[in-house]
Amino acid sequence: MTDSSSSTGSHTLMSLMSVLLLVLLYLGGEDVFEIAIGNARYMGGESLLWLAGSVGYVAAALVVAGLCIWAITSPETLISWYDRSLAPRIEKLGWARWAIAGLAILFPSILFLGIWGKSLTAASFRILILFLSAVAAGLVVSEKSARAFPNIALSLLLGASVFGVSKRLILVTDYPFKLYWSEGNRLWDYSLYFLRGQYLVEGDFTFPTYLTPGRHGLWGLPFLIPGATIATLRLWDVVLWTLPYLLLGWLFFTAKRTNLSWRLRFGIALWMLVYLTLAGTFAPLVLSAILLAWLLNSSRPLRAALLAAAAGFYAGISRWTWFAAPAVWAGLWILLDVDTEPHRKRRFVRSLGVGAAGLLGGIAAQALMSVAFPRPEAVFSTAFSQPLLWYRLLPNALSQQGILRSLLIAIGPLVVLLIWGGLQGRPRWGWLEWSALWLSLAGFLGLGIAASVKIGGGNNLHNLDMFMMTLLFALAWVAFRWLRREGRKWSSFPGGIQALLVLAILIPSFDVMRSGRPTRLPDENAVQESLEIIRAEAAKADDVLFIDQRQLLTFGQVGGEPLILDYELKHMMNQAMSSNQDYFDHFEADLAAQRFDLIVSDALPGFLRGSDYQFGEENDVWLKFGAGLLKKYYVPIRKLPTGIWLLAPKPAG
């Protein structure tokens, strides 16, 4: 590629980023003024603060807009000015420029997760701040303009990753009650493989239907540490939502002996973190992928088959719907590797063998689960009886974009890059490779769409995890081939491909910024009051049912109460969404007989919501089957300041 075409690509990229920044300046300005008006206090200092902030925004926006227009109309002049005038001054800062870059990267987290985050919730403004912080950090560490774009991209990924991890870290607290829906009960779930002996169980013990050692056992590993606290478990949760993704990105290329700089490997690892965060992929599925990405070798089919079987087994003991995914990934990787084995027939046979081994591993996992961890009903017993809410594919109250648009935005640039990359070099993929790839993607896409539109889903892309991971494996092979055969540099790609690569970085990075705000927990007095009331009421009762807040038993805030395994919130909600009348007939019989002296629950809904509200249908089925029965036979005796309700049987008559 000539210097002229490379320069043209760089100018196109600069123009694209400048136009994007201008759009964000406009949208962010709308957000700022809307927030300022909404928070205005025409008397006192707060109004002056918002006024000063608005004026400051306008001044800064005019400067940035001027630079953007300069970059669009005369990029050569701007680059020359940067290299001749600005870069030497920045270089004189020495180590201080790295401190400035670090502060710029941290700034979005400090701003939006601190006290200002309660007001600054608009997505456009958050994205703008991330973008500007990344540009500032990237420029301040770049000695020459040629390094600016890679440094800005790395700073953007790092800033988004820091924000994503930080908004999880602020939830690491010793607050004894749940932080979000059923979080406390999930902590109790994780304890069952490790602390089962500490519970005084009423009746025979059976593992809950949804419990799996690969997933819940992984999250429960800190219980092996004596004295593990609720904060320890919450910190481990942050680790599991972070470290596996970074490892996958690092090992995809480290293990393949590509001559990548640490900077590029670090960037790939960060991109993997934000991409898989967007996909909502759980750690066990990522760990199965790590096993393949790290050790799978197309030239060693026996080892590949054993790895596929191990990955399939672990995925299978983590979630039954995942049992076939590693088989597809391993088989597809072998089939797509036209460089290692150009002979199509031999490659196809190897692919089938490795895929079959992975499938056997997944099937073996299901057989083991049925024997070693007997459960009261089949794990898939409700999978096919829940209604499908097809409207959630489109924009709705639960998802502003809807599943289809969100997915298209997330994968659009990646699919184009995959097609373009698959058509480069020699030998190329033939009809067999392309057919296998598209069939695999289509199969997982169909399963993911069906799961997403089921009641209980549709608020994010996590049910499309297998589809997005399959796309990732195909992209990784393409990228590996580029790096191994072409040795391409950023500047050597055509301008259109550079733009797609930028979008592939921007989209998941921006998505991370859409949520996250400072935590707002009840004060310590309210917490202690709630604990004391629960202990006192539980001490007076013989049979106490914890529908929710079972972590109080796990971590000893409430002790000595027999654990009633029946009627756990998540399981009850799943049965309600399946309209399991037999299950709730049994529940009603227990309530009518006043089996429980005390019930610990979250606040019960009072109204039907419908599709105009977030999770409206879920609210309605819970009101019909669960909350409605509780209100019929029990009455709240205490509504605690922490949002917990204590219910007792209604008096006779």
Mean pLDDT across the stretch 173-183?
A: 95
In order, the DSSP letters of 534-575 are HHHHHHH-SSEEESS-THHHHTTSS-SPPB--S--HHHHHHH
Please say if the pLDDT value at position 14 is more than 90.
no
Q: How far is 125 from 108, CA to CA, in rounded Å?
A: 10
Higher pLDDT, 15 or 570: 570
Q: How far is 437 from 471, CA to CA, in rounded Å?
A: 9
pLDDT digits (tens, 9 = 90+) for 512-535: 999 999 999 999 999 999 999 999
Positive/negative CA dihedral, 313, 317, 320, 321: negative
Q: Mark residue 206 as left, alpha or beta (left: phi above 0; alpha: psi -120 to 50; beta: remaining).
A: beta
Closest by alpha carbon to 606, among 594, 624, 589? Answer: 624
Report which secondary-structure segment, H or E, holds 639.
strand 634-639
Please say if the pLDDT value at position 55 is more than 90.
no
Please say if the pLDDT value at position 231 is more than 60.
yes
Q: How many CB atoms lie within 10 A of CB 613?
A: 15
Q: What share of the chain is helix, strand, coil (3-state, %, to 5)?
A: 65, 5, 30
pLDDT digits (tens, 9 = 90+) for 110-162: 999 998 888 888 899 999 999 999 999 999 988 777 778 889 999 999 999 99
pLDDT digits (tens, 9 = 90+) for 412-465: 999 999 999 888 876 788 899 999 999 999 999 999 999 999 999 888 999 999
Buried b or exposed e, range 207-235, using 16+ CB within 10 angstroms? bbbbbbbbbbbbbbbbbeeeebebebbbb
Please say if the pLDDT value at position 43 is more than 50.
no
Q: Give residue 45's pLDDT.
A: 47
Look up residue 240 and give its two tokens. 């599991």
8 A C-beta contact, residue 157 and residue 121: no
Mean pLDDT across the stretch 289-304?
A: 86
List CB contacts of 515: < 8 A, sequence separation 6 or more.
Answer: 167
Q: Mark residue 205 as left, alpha or beta (left: phi above 0; alpha: psi -120 to 50; beta: remaining).
A: beta
Q: How far is 216 from 317, CA to CA, in rounded Å?
A: 10
DSSP three-state, residue 454:
strand
Please say if the pLDDT value at position 1 is more than 50.
no
Q: How far is 170 from 510, CA to CA, in rounded Å?
A: 20
CA-to-CA dists, residue 463 to 158, 183, 310, angstroms: 26, 19, 23
